[in-house]
């Protein structure tokens, strides 16, 4: 499998367990790795034969509009499954970095959803 990576896409989503934390959007960095065989895309030089990373990035940027989550784990799983289904990626891995602990550079979760079928 070949891989497309979107690294550290900056978004502002409402996320956090306490209501007060979710009240304002927080800066998150989201990385997405999408596997797919690039053979047909390389042979045809056609975008529809691969995963359109620009379209994926736009979708991720707008994923949080009008929504909120308590857990970044929930958000990560939702994103991975949504990208896999919407964009025809094989295996999808999503990592979300949250900057909430003053003593740590960041806290992150990482989830992988395998190839369908």
Q: Count CB neighbours of 99 within 10 A.
A: 13
Q: In Å, how far from its chain's centre is CA 64?
A: 11
Of 16, 98, 111, 113, the active-site residue reads 98
- Point out which residues pair with 26 in neighbouring strands: 13
Is 98 noted as a catalytic residue in this protein?
yes
The total number of residues shown for the chain amounts to 117
Give me the torsion for CA of 20, 21, 27, 28, rounded to 10°.
-150
Q: In Å, how far from its chain's centre is CA 115?
A: 16
Please list the active-site residues: 98
């Amino acid at each position: 499998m070949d891989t497309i990576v979107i690294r550290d896409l900056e978004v502002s989503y409402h996320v956090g367990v306490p209501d007060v934390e979710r009240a304002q959007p927080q800066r998150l960095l989201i990385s997405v790795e999408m596997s797919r065989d690039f053979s047909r895309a390389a042979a045809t030089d056609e975008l529809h034969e691969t995963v359109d990373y620009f379209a994926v990035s736009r979708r991720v940027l707008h994923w949080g509009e009008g929504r909120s989550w308590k857990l970044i784990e929930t958000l990560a799983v939702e994103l991975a499954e949504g990208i896999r289904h919407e964009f025809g990626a094989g295996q999808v891995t999503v990592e979300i970095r949250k900057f909430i602990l003053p003593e740590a550079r960041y806290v992150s979760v990482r989830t992988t959803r395998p190839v369908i079928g």
